[in-house]
Amino acid sequence: MTRRPAPATAPARFGPAAPAPTGPGSAAARPGLGVTDPGIADLAPDQRLRRLELTVTRRLDGLLHGRYRGLLPGPGSEAAGSREYRPGEDEVRRMDWAVTARTTVPHVREVDADRELTTWLLVDASASMEYGTSTLDKRELAVAAVACVGFLTAGVGNRLGAQVLTSDGLRRFPARSGRIHLLGMLRALLDAPRTDDPPEPRAPGRAGGRGAPPASGLVDGLAGLQRVAARRGLVVVVSDFLDELPDDPDAAPPWAAALRRLAVRHQVLAVEVTDPRELELPDVGLVTLVDPETGRHREVWTGDPALRERYARAAAAQRDQVRRTLHRAGATHLALRTDRDWCADVVRHVHEQRRLATAPAAARGGAA
């Protein structure tokens, strides 16, 4: 089963672009829009990374709850295996009696410090994420979200890993710490090859032609995260969440169960990336819509007000379906749009999560 064509997920631009955000986090602009400030895609890789880093650290640093997950100081309580006992160095209270009895050699329990955070990212870099009619396209906005998470969770002992969904399969980055690792990951996302031409049309349900690699979807990516994310931490999923959405708005997509299993053990943040043309259709006459995932074409007369109204209702129902699915899975939802200041959206989200965390339980229950 292939991804259902998203509303207006076409490579063509529809009329004038939406108004560009004015915040520093969205200082980029596309060529041809009458704006001289270069966009993220027009800068060299190092310049793009530097701009992202400055934007994140200047506007968002200090808004998280802190670098440490544990409320109490100490070595931690997350089990991480056993090792042989070292006389004079290890405490007897940490003896692992079960392993000692099996091996007849004294062993002690090892634990990971709660203050060390491991963050796993699942980034959707499929063809539908290359669409955009505003200052940024959806893939550039996804890279900005990854930079935001990476720079704000960077700290001593903290690690960051990622899995990227591409048209060629699933690309994996091991969990490591350090700024060099984060910058290398961002550079790989920025320099990832794009689909210049839409694929040849194919029937729904076929993932590709003969000899083509199997397409990886959110189900495969979430399952891969569940295998590698052994210890509790933060899982961030950046996508448009259009993968295999069922036609029935009350039905759950296939990736909902995998996301729910991750949320049982980890704190899950779902970053939904959208474009304004996916929500409403402008009146620009006859246009040809192309699904970048399947290559199917459809001509649409946008001068029909009834058609534009039906389109807006269908797009709103689709976004509501995604929101409900994320909420039922236990994930925190952060919506980012290509025509808005993504830094301001992140700030509002962090403040709202802080308010909910400090609110009384009764108030939280009433708000839910």
Pairwise CA distance, residues 315 & 306, whole Å: 14
Q: Do the beta carbons of residue 263 and residue 331 sit within 8 Å?
A: yes
pLDDT value of position 45: 54
Pairwise CA distance, residues 274 & 334, whole Å: 11
Mean pLDDT, to the nearest integer, of 317-332? 92
What is the residue type of 114? D
Topology given in CATH for the domain delimited by 24-65+115-367: Rossmann fold (3.40.50)
pLDDT value of position 191: 76
Q: Are strands 78-84 and 107-112 parallel, antiparallel or unpaired?
A: antiparallel
Pairwise CA distance, residues 87 & 82, whole Å: 15
pLDDT value of position 284: 86
pLDDT value of position 1: 43
Mean pLDDT, to the nearest integer, of 97-119? 82
**In the chain, what percentage of residues exceed pLDDT 70?**
67
Pairwise CA distance, residues 191 & 41, whole Å: 9
pLDDT value of position 58: 63
pLDDT value of position 207: 43
**pLDDT: is 171 or 56 the higher one?**
171
The answer, yes or no, to whether residue 166 has pLDDT greater than 50, is: yes
Question: Which residues on neighbouring strands pair with residue 76, listed in sequence order?
Answer: none
Of 28-42, 114-128, 337-351, the range with the lowest mean pLDDT is 28-42
The answer, yes or no, to whether residue 95 has pLDDT greater than 60, is: yes
Give the pLDDT band (50/70/90) at residue 358. low
Tokens describing residue 286: 């006859």
For 211-259, write each residue's pLDDT tens digit: 444 456 888 889 989 888 888 888 999 999 987 788 887 888 889 999 9
Mean pLDDT, to the nearest integer, of 267-272? 92
pLDDT value of position 61: 57
- Could you give the count of Cα atoms lying within 13 Å of 169 in the half-sphere of its Cβ? 5
pTM of the predicted model as reported, rounded to 2 decimal places: 0.68
The answer, yes or no, to whether residue 270 has pLDDT greater than 90, is: yes
Domains in the chain: boundaries: 24-65+115-367, 82-112
Q: Do the beta carbons of residue 268 and residue 237 sit within 8 Å?
A: yes
pLDDT value of position 13: 32
Per the prediction, the chain carries an average pLDDT of 74
Report the Cα 287 to chain-centroid distance in Å.
31
Pairwise CA distance, residues 107 & 104, whole Å: 9
The answer, yes or no, to whether residue 162 has pLDDT greater than 60, is: yes
Question: Which residues on neighbouring strands pair with residue 165, listed in sequence order?
Answer: 124, 170
Helix (H) or strand (E) holding 53: helix 45-60
332-140-16 Cα angle (round to 5) = 110
Pairwise CA distance, residues 218 & 55, whole Å: 29
Q: From residue 301, how far is each of 8, 189, 283 by CA, in Å?
A: 13, 36, 8
Q: Do the beta carbons of residue 277 and residue 14 sit within 8 Å?
A: yes
